[in-house]
Amino acid sequence: MAQWQEVQSLANTYLEQVHQLYAGSALPMAVRQSLAAWIESQNWRQAAEPLCSQARMLFHSLLVVLGERLGSLGSDREDFMLKHNLRKAHRDLQAEFEEKPETFANLVANLLQEERRILRLGQAGEQEGSAPAPSPAPESGREQQIQQRLGDFHRALQEAERAFRHLEDLQDAFDFCFKVHYRPDGERNSDPEYIQELKSLQDKLQNLHRQRQEVLALMQQLLRRSETLQELLQQELGGWRARQQRQCLGGPGDTNLRPLETWFTELGQGLFQLRQLLRALGELRQKVTYARDPLVTETPLLEQRLQEQLTHLLRSAFVVEQQPSTPNAAKRPLVLRTAGKFSARARLLVRLHDRNHRMEARIHIDRDPPNIRGFRRFNILTSSSKTLLAGDSPQEGLICDFQYLTLKEQKDSRAGKGKGGGGEGPLVVTEELHLITFTLAYAYCGLELELEATTLPFVIISNNNQFSSAWASILWFNMLSSDPKAQQFFSSPPPAPWPRLAEVLSWQFQSVAERGLSRDNLLMLAKKLLGSKPSLDSTVAWSKFSKDSGSGFSFWAWLDGILGLLQEHLKQLWKKGLILGFVSHKQKEKLLKCKRSGTFLLRFSETVLGGVTFTWVEHPETGPPIFHAVEPYTASELVSLALPDIIRDYHMSMEEKNPENPLKFLYPNIARDEAFGPFYSQRMEGNLSDSQKYLNRRLIRVSSRPPNRRQTEEELVVATQDLQMLQLQPRGQGTQQPGGLPWPQPLGTLQVTPGNVGTPQGVTMTPGTLQVTPGNVGTPQGVTVTPGTLQVTPGNVGTPQGVTMTPGTLQVTPGNLGTPQGVTMTPGTLQPRGLGMLQPQPQSLEPPQVASGVPNFQGTLQVAPGAVGTVQVLPGGLRGDSGTLLGTVAVSSGTLPAEQGTLPAELRDLELLPGGRDMQELLQSLQELEPGLEAAGLMPDVVPTLEESFQLSPGSAALLDQHDPFLPQPEDSVLPIVPSLFTDFPPLHIDPSDFQ
Amino acid sequence: MGQTSGRQERNKKPEVAPSEIMEAEIEVQNTKEETKDVKAKNQKLTSVFGLADLKNEAIGLYNLGQSCCLNSLLQVFLMNIHFTRILRRITVPPSPAQRRNNVPYQMLLLLEKMQCGKCKAVGPTDLACCLSEHRVELFVQHDAAQLFLTLWNLLKKQMKKPVEELSDLYTICIQEHLACQKCSFEVKNNSTMLTLPLPVLDANSHRLKTLEDCLQYFFHPEELTGQNMCFCQQCGRKTTFLQSMKLVHLPQTLALHLKRFCFERSSRTQKLSLHLPFPQELDLREILTESQCQADDSEKGTWQFELFAVVAHSGLSSCGHYCAYIRSLTDCKWYCFNDSEVCQVSWDDVKCTYGHSNLYWRETAYLLFYMKKHPQQPWPGVSECL
Q: What is the pLDDT of residues A532-589, one digit of tens each?
A: 777 778 888 888 888 876 677 888 888 888 888 888 888 888 888 788 778 777 777 7
Main-chain phi, psi angles of B304, to 5 degrees: -105, 130
C-alpha distances out from residue B207 to A731, B146, B196, B277, B357, Å = 66, 24, 18, 12, 11
Contacts B319 to A, Cβ<8 Å: 297, 300-301
| C-beta of residue A742 within 8 angstroms of C-beta of residue A735 | yes
What does the alpha-carbon distance between residue A737 and residue A719 come to, in Å, rounded to a whole number?
A: 25
B145: CATH = 3.90.70.10
pTM, entire model: 0.65
Cα A133 to chain centroid, rounded: 37
Distance from CA of A430 to the nearest CA of B (A): 35
Map residue B267 onto helix, strand or coil: coil
Give the number of other CB atoms < 10 A from CB of residue A538. 17
CA-based nearest residue to B239, from B169, B187, B296, B298: B187
Query: ipTM score here?
Result: 0.78
Q: How many domains does chain B have?
A: 1
Distance from CA of B141 to the nearest CA of A (A): 11
The residue of B72, B321, B351 whose CB has the most chain A CBs within 10 angstroms, and thus the best one to mutate to test that interface, is B321
Would the CB atoms of B118 and A110 count as touching at under 8 Å? yes
- E-strand ranges in B13-79 read 60-61
Helix A555-565 and helix A519-530, axial crossing angle in degrees, nearest 10: 150
- List all residues 6 or more positions away from A146 whose beta carbon is below 8 Å from its beta carbon: A229, A232, A233, A236, A263
Would the CB atoms of B362 and A309 count as touching at under 8 Å? yes
C-alpha distances out from residue A237 to A141, A250, A319, A897, Å = 16, 19, 9, 61
Length of chain A: 996
* Sequence letter at residue A891: V
Q: Nearest chain A residue to B331 by CA: give it.
A: A121
Give the domain extent around B120: 60-372
What does the alpha-carbon distance between residue A509 and residue A516 come to, in Å, rounded to a whole number?
A: 5
Main-chain phi, psi angles of B231, to 5 degrees: -80, 125
Pairing of strands A447-454, B172-180: unpaired
What does the alpha-carbon distance between residue B355 and residue A66 come to, in Å, rounded to a whole number?
A: 53
What does the alpha-carbon distance between residue A657 and residue A667 come to, in Å, rounded to a whole number?
A: 25
Task: Compute the 3-state secondary structure of chain A and give helix, strand, coil in percent, each to the nearest 5.
Answer: 45, 10, 45
What does the alpha-carbon distance between residue A330 and residue A511 come to, in Å, rounded to a whole number?
A: 10
pLDDT single digits (tens) A579-624: 877 877 777 777 777 777 778 888 888 887 888 888 887 777 777 7
User: Exposure pattern of A62-85 as b/e (b: 16+ CB <10 Å)?
Assistant: bbeebeebbeeeeeeeeeeebbeb
| C-beta of residue B350 within 8 angstroms of C-beta of residue B310 | yes
Peptide bond connecting B378 to the previous residue in cis, omega within 30 degrees of 0:
yes
- The catalytically annotated residue of B82, B249, B313, B321 is B321
Contacts A292 to B, Cβ<8 Å: 65-66, 139
The DSSP element (H or E) to which A13 belongs, if any, is: helix A12-23
pLDDT single digits (tens) A360-401: 889 999 888 888 888 888 888 888 788 776 665 556 788 888
Give the number of other CB atoms < 10 A from CB of residue A666. 23
Pairing of strands B253-259, B195-199: parallel
pLDDT single digits (tens) B246-278: 889 899 999 999 988 877 666 677 888 889 999
Res B72: pLDDT: 92
Peptide bond connecting B94 to the previous residue in cis, omega within 30 degrees of 0:
no
Res B147: pLDDT: 92
What does the alpha-carbon distance between residue A801 and residue A690 come to, in Å, rounded to a whole number?
A: 23
* Sequence letter at residue B365: A
Would the CB atoms of A221 and B336 count as touching at under 8 Å? yes
What does the alpha-carbon distance between residue B183 and residue A786 come to, in Å, rounded to a whole number?
A: 98
What does the alpha-carbon distance between residue A781 and residue A802 come to, in Å, rounded to a whole number?
A: 13
Active-site annotation holds for B321: yes
In chain B, the percentage of residues whose pLDDT exceeds 70 is: 81
Would the CB atoms of B338 and A220 count as touching at under 8 Å? yes
CA-based nearest residue to B320, from B267, B273, B363: B363
Domain membership flag for residue B247: yes
DSSP secondary structure letter of residue B353: G
What does the alpha-carbon distance between residue A827 and residue A810 come to, in Å, rounded to a whole number?
A: 12
What does the alpha-carbon distance between residue B355 and residue B360 come to, in Å, rounded to a whole number?
A: 8
> pLDDT-based confidence at B77, cuts 50/70/90?
very high
- List all residues 6 or more positions away from A994 whose beta carbon is below 8 Å from its beta carbon: A774, A775, A794, A795, A798, A799
Domain membership flag for residue B3: no
Which one of A218, A221, A308 has the shortest CB-CB distance to B361?
A: A308
Give the number of other CB atoms < 10 A from CB of residue A771. 24
Domain membership flag for residue B244: yes
- List all residues 6 or more positions away from A419 whose beta carbon is below 8 Å from its beta carbon: none
Res A580: pLDDT: 79
Active-site annotation holds for B68: yes
Q: Nearest chain A residue to B338 by CA: give it.
A: A217
Res A90: pLDDT: 87
Domain membership flag for residue B98: yes
Helix A498-513 and helix A467-480, axial crossing angle in degrees, nearest 10: 130
Domain membership flag for residue B168: yes
Q: Which residues pair with A599 in a beta bridge?
A: A665
Whether the per-residue pLDDT at B101 is higher than 60: the answer is yes
Res A217: pLDDT: 87
Would the CB atoms of B361 and A301 count as touching at under 8 Å? yes
Would the CB atoms of B63 and A301 count as touching at under 8 Å? no
CA-based nearest residue to A46, from A170, A202, A156, A153: A170
Map residue A79 onto helix, strand or coil: helix
Main-chain phi, psi angles of B31, to 5 degrees: -70, -35
What does the alpha-carbon distance between residue B343 and residue A223 come to, in Å, rounded to a whole number?
A: 13
What does the alpha-carbon distance between residue A742 and residue A273 come to, in Å, rounded to a whole number?
A: 85
Contacts A48 to B, Cβ<8 Å: 119
Low-confidence ranges of chain A (pLDDT < 50): 130-136, 413-423, 684-692, 707-920, 922-923, 925-926, 928-996
* Sequence letter at residue B326: I
Half-sphere exposure of A733 (CA within 13 A, CB side): 10
Contacts B137 to A, Cβ<8 Å: none
What does the alpha-carbon distance between residue A650 and residue A702 come to, in Å, rounded to a whole number?
A: 6
More confident residue, B180 or B27: B180
| C-beta of residue A825 within 8 angstroms of C-beta of residue A758 | no
CA-based nearest residue to B275, from B342, B208, B220, B339: B208
Pure H helices in A751-909: 780-785, 787-792, 819-825, 898-901
Burial status of residue B316 (CB atoms within 10 A of its CB: 0-12, 13-18, 19 or more): middle
Would the CB atoms of B341 and A214 count as touching at under 8 Å? yes
Distance from CA of B23 to the nearest CA of A (A): 25
Would the CB atoms of B351 and A231 count as touching at under 8 Å? yes
| C-beta of residue B150 within 8 angstroms of C-beta of residue B25 | yes
What does the alpha-carbon distance between residue A275 and residue A294 come to, in Å, rounded to a whole number?
A: 18
Domain membership flag for residue B105: yes
Which one of A117, A145, A213 has the shortest CB-CB distance to B62?
A: A213
- Average pLDDT of the segment spanning B361-378: 83
Would the CB atoms of A210 and B62 count as touching at under 8 Å? yes
Domain membership flag for residue B33: no
Map residue A179 onto helix, strand or coil: helix
Pairing of strands A318-325, A342-348: antiparallel
Contacts B343 to A, Cβ<8 Å: 221
Give the number of other CB atoms < 10 A from CB of residue A481. 17
Q: Nearest chain A residue to B141 by CA: give it.
A: A297
Domain membership flag for residue B228: yes
DSSP codes, A383-433:
--EEEPB--SSTTT-EEEEEEEE-EEE-STTS-STTTT-TT--SS-GGG--
